[in-house]
Amino acid sequence: MARTEQQREALRHPIRWLLDTKPEQPGEIPRRELTMYTLGFMGQCQVNGMAGGSRFFHFCTNVLKLSPIAVGRMTGLTSVFDALNDPVAGALIDNHRFKDGRKLLPWVRITAPFIALSSFLLFVDWDLPTAGTRLLYCAIIYIIWDVLYSFQDAALWGMTATISPRSDQRARSTQWAEIGTMLGGLFGGLLMPMLSGNGAFGLNQRQVYFIFAFALCLGGGFQTLLAMGTTERVRSLPGEERSVWGNIGALRHNYILLLFLASEVLGAVSPNVSDIYLFQQMTYPVFGKEVSAPLIVTILGALTGIPGSAMKFFATKIADRVGGMKRVLLIGRISAIVTRLLAFAVGIKTLPALIVVFLLESVSSLPNNIYGIALRSMISDSVEYVEWKTGHRTEGITMSIRNLMAKMGGAIGSFIQGRCLDFLQFSADRVERGLPQNAHFHKWIWPMFKLGPIVGAVLALIPLLLLKYPDTLKCQVEGEMAQRRAAAEEAILASEIDLL
């Protein structure tokens, strides 16, 4: 069936097209597998959007009434603690094979129910008597959730390296996975800003968080199990298994991953605060009525974010046009710097200015919405590179280090955000009583929000510029690994014949 005919079939029968078990072309991944993989990531992103992002920070400050500095220290320190566990989790995954020969997917099945429950418990207010006990409860549950998430995330993203021996198909699976994370983020991303204040839909913030935790944490946690519908096509070649520390030591051969790690950490070094603190109490006149800024921001974010989100569906083709995945990464960082500078100059004092700011963000989102696809695609290629260099596959440790990147960045970001909110003299009690923040807060919140991330974007560019993995080398690695696997299969078949 020609590509154009496949596209017409997709429009006529989208569900049947998505669940087709036959590959479009020989050697390609069946769409049913990609669909199940995407749905699994949707579930995981719903959980992570609640428990792993700024929502948990906001819940602690606004519902549990904990100080921003205390929350920043708690989330920062617990993330660092668990980040130290990430390499161990990845190495354990690399060092273990289940009875059916699989290496990754069984970890998704094991961890999903416990992740669902622990992430839900993060957003339950038990009316504990003191701030110290509330902080301790959050820290314990957060560590449990985060450790479990280390195993699941390494296994789930590791599938981008094992789902196919072909780099173009690995990039394709990464693209579908990123689409799943985008769709999963829509639920919380579009609705939570509208429900962030007291009285929305007759609910207070405590009730809103409970409802969203039930739907997104419990529901999303179990939805992740749909990823079990994929196949591990690339298995480790026969050879001596390494120890846990041997797998960790293999990281020194993966210079691609190490440069990305440096870029992620440097990118987090920015004075910044979440948008929810900026817009929470603001209003704009619309047709003679004062409308809350969170509602307007939600609508503008949805409308202006559509073009960038649509880019995910064409990520691999765009990368080919601009000169590869590395070029996508560089364009993404540079565009973020330029558009932030322009947006700061425009400001958000009036509704037209706010619209212009969101239009600028829409322009920036065009390359940045495929930034993650480019990053993950190159990381999955690095697994092949390390196997080519050492003879050992390291999906677990490689993807756990990617998880460590996010956690280290999040830990640094949480610590800095706590300090920034303290500098801004933010008061949750003022929000509770419907009072505005003080003049110092309003003077510095916009420069910090819009210009702060530029510091990290500039620093993050440095490791990216040092990255060298040309297509010629990638093709050489892929070709030689295909020959090694074919030889290994022939050897196994010959030994089985000898036994008979």
pLDDT of residue 1: 45
Q: Helix and strand tally (H, E) in the chain?
A: 22, 2
pLDDT band per the 50, 70, 90 thresholds, residue 461: very high
* 475 is a domain residue: no
Contact at 8 Å (CB) between 18 and 32? yes
Closest CA to 145 of 171, 123, 170: 123
Four-residue CA torsion sign, 358, 360, 362, 364: negative
User: Could you report the per-residue pLDDT of 411-448, keeping only the tens digit for each?
Assistant: 788 788 888 888 998 887 887 777 888 889 889 989 99
Tokens at 153, concatenated: 């995330």
Q: Are strands 289-292 and 283-286 parallel, antiparallel or unpaired?
A: antiparallel
Which helix (H) or strand (E) covers residue 289, if one does?
strand 289-292
User: With pLDDT > 90 as the criterion, what percentage of the chain qualifies?
Assistant: 18
N residues, the chain: 500
* 483 is a domain residue: no
pLDDT of residue 87: 82
CATH number at residue 159: 1.20.1250.20
Contact at 8 Å (CB) between 216 and 187? yes
Task: Report, as an integer, the average pLDDT of 62-74.
Answer: 85
What is the reported pTM? Answer: 0.74
Which helix (H) or strand (E) covers residue 284, if one does?
strand 283-286
pLDDT of residue 303: 77
Residues 6+ apart with CB under 8 A from 290: 283, 284
Distance CA 428, CA 421 (A): 11
* 495 is a domain residue: no
Distance CA 413, CA 434 (A): 28
The CA dihedral of 158, 177, 449, 436, to the nearest 10 degrees, is: -110
List the beta bridge partners of residue 284.
Answer: 291
* 72 is a domain residue: yes
pLDDT of residue 201: 62
Contact at 8 Å (CB) between 44 and 156? yes
Tokens at 435, concatenated: 């009072």
User: Could you report the per-residue pLDDT of 5-61, keeping only the tens digit for each?
Assistant: 665 666 666 677 677 778 777 788 898 999 999 999 999 998 988 887 678 888 888
- E strands present in 13-101: none
pLDDT of residue 35: 92
Residue 300, domain extent = 31-229+254-469
Q: Which amino acid is at 23?
A: P
List the beta bridge partners of residue 283.
Answer: 292
pLDDT of residue 494: 73
Tokens at 367, concatenated: 């390359």
Number of domains in the chain: 1
Distance CA 119, CA 303 (A): 30
Task: Report, as an integer, the average pLDDT of 239-260.
Answer: 77
Burial of 451 (0-12, 13-18, 19+ CB in 10 A): middle
Q: How far is CA 26 from CA 2, 22, 29, 476, in A?
A: 13, 9, 9, 21
The single residue listed with the structure tokens 């022939």 is 490
Closest CA to 189 of 54, 312, 313: 54
The CA dihedral of 211, 213, 217, 223, to the nearest 10 degrees, is: 10
Rg (CA), the chain: 23
The single residue listed with the structure tokens 């769709």 is 183
Q: How far is CA 222 from CA 117, 228, 229, 283, 320, in A?
A: 10, 11, 14, 38, 36
Residues 6+ apart with CB under 8 A from 387: 237, 393, 394, 481
pLDDT of residue 343: 92
Distance CA 376, CA 46 (A): 19
User: Could you report the per-residue pLDDT of 133-182, keeping only the tens digit for each?
Assistant: 999 998 899 889 988 988 898 899 889 989 988 888 888 899 999 888 88
Distance CA 447, CA 464 (A): 26
